[in-house]
Structure 1
Amino acid sequence: MHVTLIQAILIAGVVALSNLDGNFFGEMKFREPIVTGFLVGLILGDVKLGLLIGAQLQIIWMGATGIGPTAQLDIGAGGTIGTAVAILTGKGAEVAITFGLPVAVIMQFLNTFLMTSYSVLMHRVDKLIDDLKEKQMIFIHIICGMITASMYAVLTFIVIYFGNRK
């Protein structure tokens, strides 16, 4: 099955949405594999398979929790890309796991790198706090979040759209 440009953009949007969950939307569970599996299945035209794969990934990642300062797996990106690859290749959950787990680890490293790079702005934010400039602090927060979500979306688009070409 070949993915269309629109499908690749929509799947990239699902990954961006999963990244924004917990950062901007509160904890709405958009990043859970059962949700992303459903959305990917809807986008690719096989909701049943998307839900089935998402549920299987959900069971696997239920026990994967970050304890203390350890980084968690990025289950939003891993579940979304894993499910998309499994549906696009016509394979089952074993392919979703094979692709999803490394993606979850790599995207968490990317997220850690981005969050570390944003730390250079903290002195600026500290000054804004002292000066009671709330709107500028919010602007910095939103820009950093949009950069992160955009990075996730662009990388996902590249993987899904160009990775499916022969």
Structure 2
Amino acid sequence: MIQALLLGIIGFIANCDYALGTSLIKNPIVTGPLVGLVMGDLTQGVIIGGVLELAFIGAQSVGAFVPPNVVVGGVLGTAFAISTGSGAEVAVTLAYPIALLAAVVENVFMSFIFPIAGTWADKFAAEGDYRKIELVHMGGGLFSSVVFGALCTLGFMLGSAQVEAVVNAIPTVITDGLTVATGILPAMGFAMLAQMTINKKVVVFFAIGFVLSSYMGVPVLGIAILGVAAAILQTGLLNGDTPAAQAVIDGGDDDDF
């Protein structure tokens, strides 16, 4: 019972990312270690959180699309995997269906509750009462955080025994397939992220990083340091330029041309 309540608190805090500003505390790489502490296995919490972070990295809201709920999926997926003594591959398998079910609840918020709250905010804006607009925004976000925190608590209380039975009944051939899928999902997540970010200005740096990693054996930390150095050179910070100033200079050149 105490573990279920603590998991609910983690879910509440993680979902506050939507209410109080984007701090990325909802990501599995953050919630995973916290769940590991609650479940008494910090090491597995860190490992599973890292795997789920890669698996969910491409699940981003674009337009009206509501992605799988990473908070409930990450918390319960990690908790169930640790409680059943399973590996990261089972955590991914459990986390995605749970996240999809939680997305149904999130769709209710996005389709009905938040739009109604938006009409209240419009009314207060017309009255010039900005304090009430803030209360509507934060109140709606905190209410959703309470709901998703409760889902984490109830889900763990109702599902731990059933999930353990299901996991134990999974044939070895399926478990082996899930292990392979666990290696593929992070690659898919990176591919989805790359599709949104890579363009002709940065693809050269992507190629350089690939060569350094695959053919020269440079560790990830070394590539990250080189990436930071390249970003500093590209933005002209060593010359005292700021990105805003550089944009003005570039715009001036276009006008003169």
TM-score tier, shorter chain, comes to 0.7 to 0.9
- 2:35 maps to 1:40: yes
- Distance, in Å, in 2 between the alignment partners of 1:138 and 1:157 is 28
1:74 to 53, 69, 72: 69
CA offsets 1:89-108 (integer angstroms, 9 cap, x no match): 11111221122101111222
In structure 1, how many angstroms separate the alpha carbons of the residues matched to 2:158 and 2:103?
22
Q: Which residue does the alignment assign to 2:53? A: 58
Q: 1:127: Cα distance to partner?
A: 1.6
**CA deviation digits over 1:123-160, x for unaligned, max 9?**
33212111111222222222212221111111211111
**CA separation in 2, counterparts of 1:123 and 1:31?**
27
Counterpart residue number, 1:13? 9
After TM superposition, the runs of 4+ consecutive aligned structure 1 residues lying more than 4 A away are: none
Larger radius of gyration: 2
Query: What's the offset of the Cα at 1:27?
Result: 2.1
What do you get for the CA RMSD once the two structures are aligned?
1.7
Contact 1:77 1:107 in 2 (8 A): yes
SS of 1:23's equivalent? helix
The worse-fitting range, judged by mean Cα deviation, of 63-72 and 82-91 is 63-72
Aligned residues: 161
Kindly provide the amino acid, as one letter, of the partner of residue 108 in structure 2. F
Unmatched 5+ stretches in structure 2: 163-257
Instruction: Tell me the TM-score normalised to structure 2 length.
Output: 0.58
Q: Quick one: which amino acid aligns to residue 126 of structure 1? A: D
> How far apart in 1 are the matches of 2:126 and 2:64?
28
Query: In the alignment, is residue 143 of structure 1 matched against residue 139 of structure 2?
Result: yes
Distance in 2 of aligned mates of 1:128 and 1:45: 47
Contact 1:8–1:160, Cα closer than 8 Å, also in 2: yes
Normalized per residue, which structure has more helix?
2
TM-score, reference length from structure 1: 0.87
Report what 1:86 is aligned to: 81
Q: In 2, Cα distance between the equivalents of 1:121 and 1:68?
A: 19
Q: CA deviation at 1:66?
A: 3.5
Residue 21 of structure 1 deviates from its aligned partner by: 0.9
Structure with higher RCO (Cα < 8 A, 6+ apart): 1
Q: String of CA shifts for 1:46-92, please: whole Å, max 9, x gaps.
A: 00011111111112122333433322222122111100000011111
Structure 1: gaps (5+ residues): none
Which residue does 2:126 correspond to in 1? 130
Change (3 A) 1:132 1:148: same
Aligned to 2:108: 113
Residue type of the alignment partner of 1:8:
A
Inter-partner Cα distance in structure 1 for 2:118 and 2:59: 30
> Which one of the candidate residues 154, 160, 179 is aligned to 1:158?
154
SS in 2 for 1:73: coil
Cα offset, 1:165, TM superposition: 4.9
